[in-house]
Amino acid sequence: MTRPAKRITGEDVARVAGVSRTTVSFVLNNRPGQSIPDETRQRVLEAAKLLKYKPHASARSLAAGRSDIVLLAVPDLPIGAGMSRFVEELAAALAEHDLTLVTHLEGAHGRSAVDTCARIGASAVIGFESLEPAVVEALHQAGAEVVLPLRSDDSGATEPVGRAQAEHLISRGHRRLGYAMPAHPGLAAMAAERLRGATLACKDAGLEPPLALTTSLEISAAVTATTRWSEAAVTGVCAFNDETAIAVLAGLRERGLSAPADMAVVGADDIPTARLAAPPLTTVSFDLRGAGRRRAEAVVASLTGQDVPPSPVEGVVRVVQRASS
Amino acid sequence: MTRPAKRITGEDVARVAGVSRTTVSFVLNNRPGQSIPDETRQRVLEAAKLLKYKPHASARSLAAGRSDIVLLAVPDLPIGAGMSRFVEELAAALAEHDLTLVTHLEGAHGRSAVDTCARIGASAVIGFESLEPAVVEALHQAGAEVVLPLRSDDSGATEPVGRAQAEHLISRGHRRLGYAMPAHPGLAAMAAERLRGATLACKDAGLEPPLALTTSLEISAAVTATTRWSEAAVTGVCAFNDETAIAVLAGLRERGLSAPADMAVVGADDIPTARLAAPPLTTVSFDLRGAGRRRAEAVVASLTGQDVPPSPVEGVVRVVQRASS
DNA sequence: ATGAAAGCGCTAACAA
DNA sequence: TTGTTAGCGCTTTCAT
């Protein structure tokens, strides 16, 4: 498990290939503008493969002045399966541009994102939500060339989610809506955005804003919330996400009520267990992969100083109707 | 978002503090054995703070010969909230030893863990499950000094989970058990381990091994599985995890049966929605934070060449009894 | 088309 | 106690 293993350097490759280190570098990075005969190029490539040469990351970054490492800084919040799809796509899209993505999970006791950024020498940092200016500044100080918030404008499709939820309920005849907010503080900002989307949909339909109530993932909390909604004549509730929606469903069940007859419920995220809920949960799903790809494009663009092509965002939000509404 | 910002080097700090770069290095890394007068030390520290000096990661790693970056390589599998607790603790514990953790999520199209390891110049890599020897070799080639599987021996508490599930059911009088295996291929290895634990518990009790059936997260699959269990006179089933257990519950419900009367169900992981299931799900929870900490200790130990103190693993697995069993 | 040489910013012997 | 010096492995400009 702990073998140091002599490192193979570019010099080794050069010696084996019978060329200079410079040539090796040119070939391996296939630097444009250098017309290297195919014969030489092959020789270098073979030597590299033979020796299993891996360029030394630190040396490369030091010399080149950039590490091409992109750090995704995830704050302390409940992480779900949707996240991995986003991250995978982000990583894949970045890799196409020769960038390497790693993720930092911010925890109560661990390093801060800024710290981690400095330690790994990231070229770019993608933060969640909007980054505070002071943090952005610190990140730059730490060596990051580019710093982007996660959901600028389109990416998270966050407001549209709330809008889609509310529109769905409205289209099914509900006139008084509720919104189930998550208890986790880290989710507050995103929840507020989704709620805003729902509020806009209500306004468009000439309805009052949804009655927003916080619901932790416990039956008792859900009982309290659903009771208040019932009292307020709410007939349909949008939940921040599927977990919260499942809590609402549980609250209803506990009270001897049922969805959608007594109260329609729609979640968000379309987690795997949504369809297993009782009743199966109507939810809003959205294109996380697309979001990942768009984010990657934005990073690449600012890293290379190009203009950001606005990249169309269409049909990202979709209602998956099941029995709960 | 894209300000290069002139980098502050150790030289700048040295100049401001009126000392040499060496002294700066010594103070900042507070190298032992160098008795530097407090006055000088303070001067350096102040200069560094004033200039907001951050050592250049690549330069440091290149010179020191190690990056102190630890890479956690997560394969392509459904990632849950439990994971973040583990990662957070791992990161925190590593940070105490001046190591920095970043995570790589393996995806279908992105970079491989080996690739990522090479690109970031990780000093150590923590893999999931057991790493194949060829991969370990490649990782070393890529520059990793230490390579550890995630769950060697104790960490994941994986076999004990299955054992606890089965013992719980057996203690409640069930004589014929079922085991619900997940459909996701990435989970197969872990599932096999948990099943093994359950099998051992059965053997200890003089019972047949559990009837293992795969159950995807769809009601139809769960209906099929539960039907077969019913036919085989199974009265209690352990599920690989809570999601699978929730599927089993849904299958039972669909068939007009109920837990635990017709079939007792116990999950694993204690996800937040377990208590919201109908009926609330009995599950097995375990100490992910402890696991994270132990893994960190192992990494630190092999990185520093110390002997690994076996670190006691007690009371990590706990049955949380709810209505489903 | 290829090579020589000068760093990138830092660490760590070794001197002083 | 502090400074001088020599690299770490790579990129890249400038000669050849």
CA distance, residue A182 to nearest chain B CA (Å): 12
Q: Which chain B positions have a beta carbon within 8 Å of A250's beta carbon?
A: 276-278
**What gap in Å lies between CA A242 and CA A268, rounded to an integer?**
5
Please say if the pLDDT value at position B36 is more than 80. Answer: no
Residue pair B244/B180 in contact by the 8 Å Cβ criterion = yes
Residue whose CA is minimally distant from D7 C1': B63
Residue pair B70/A55 in contact by the 8 Å Cβ criterion = no
3-state helix, strand, coil split of chain A in percent (to 5) is: 45, 15, 40
**What gap in Å lies between CA A151 and CA A238, rounded to an integer?**
22
Confidence at residue A36, expressed as pLDDT on a 0 to 100 scale: 79
pLDDT digits (tens, 9 = 90+) for A203-247: 999 999 999 999 999 999 999 999 999 999 999 999 999 999 999
Confidence at residue A151, expressed as pLDDT on a 0 to 100 scale: 63
Structure tokens at B112: 């491989």
What's A132's DSSP letter?
A: P
CA distance, residue A135 to nearest chain B CA (Å): 12
> Percentage of chain A surpassing pLDDT 90?
65
Mean pLDDT of chain A: 90
Nucleic acid strand C within 7 Å of B64 CB: yes
**Which among A1, A217, A302 has CB closest to B273?**
A217
Q: How far is the CA of B287 from the C1' of D3 (A)?
A: 52
Nearest CA in chain B to A96: B110
**What gap in Å lies between CA A243 and CA A226, rounded to an integer?**
15
Confidence at residue B77, expressed as pLDDT on a 0 to 100 scale: 82
Q: What is the pTM of this model?
A: 0.92
Q: Which chain B positions have a beta carbon within 8 Å of A52's beta carbon?
A: 141
pLDDT digits (tens, 9 = 90+) for B83-120: 888 999 999 999 999 999 999 999 888 899 999 999 99
Least confident segment among A158-172, B29-43, B68-82, B278-292: B29-43
Confidence at residue B323, expressed as pLDDT on a 0 to 100 scale: 96
Indicate which of A102, A217, A265 best probes the interface with B, i.e. most B CBs within 10 Å of its own CB: A102
Q: Which chain B positions have a beta carbon within 8 Å of A217's beta carbon?
A: 272-273, 275-276
Confidence at residue A155, expressed as pLDDT on a 0 to 100 scale: 46
CB pairs under 8 A between A and B: 233
CA distance, residue A90 to nearest chain B CA (Å): 8
Residue whose CA is minimally distant from C1 C1': A36
Nucleotide nearest to B65 (CA to C1'): D8
Please say if the pLDDT value at position B57 is more than 60. Answer: yes
Q: Which of A305, A100, A82 is nearest to B113 (CA)?
A: A100
Q: Does A28 touch chain B (CB under 8 A)?
A: no
Among A163-172, B142-151, B305-314, top mean pLDDT goes to A163-172
Confidence at residue B91, expressed as pLDDT on a 0 to 100 scale: 96
CA distance, residue A206 to nearest chain B CA (Å): 35
Residues 178-217 of B with CB under 8 A from A: 217
Q: In Å, what is the CA distance from B20 to each residue of B15, B25, B53, B57?
A: 7, 9, 15, 20
**What gap in Å lies between CA B195 and CA B198, rounded to an integer?**
5
What's B272's DSSP letter?
A: G
pLDDT digits (tens, 9 = 90+) for B175-201: 999 999 999 988 898 899 999 999 999
User: Residues 6 or more apart from A239 whose CB is under 8 A from it?
Assistant: A179, A180, A215, A245, A247, A248, A265, A266, A267, A268
Q: What is the mean predicted confidence (pLDDT) over A166-195?
A: 95
What separation, in Å, do the N-terminal and C-terminal C-alpha atoms of chain A show?
55
Question: Any idea which residue has 């899209």 for tokens?
Answer: A93
Confidence at residue B155, expressed as pLDDT on a 0 to 100 scale: 46
**What gap in Å lies between CA B239 and CA B83, rounded to an integer?**
19
Residue pair B27/B41 in contact by the 8 Å Cβ criterion = yes
Q: Which of residues 14-73 of A touch strand C (CB under 7 A)?
A: 18-23, 26, 34-37, 40, 59, 62-63, 65
Q: Which chain A positions have a beta carbon within 8 Å of B116's beta carbon?
A: 100, 102
Q: How far is the CA of B51 from the C1' of C10 (A)?
A: 17
What b/e readout covers A130-166, taking b as 16+ CB neighbours within 10 angstroms? Answer: ebeeebbbbbbbbbbbbbbbbbeebbbbbbbbbbbbb
Least confident segment among A11-25, A244-258, B5-19: B5-19
pLDDT digits (tens, 9 = 90+) for A45-101: 999 999 999 999 999 999 999 999 999 999 888 788 788 889 999 999 999 999 999
Nucleotide nearest to A60 (CA to C1'): D10
Question: Where residue B33 falls among pLDDT bands split at 50, 70, 90?
Answer: low
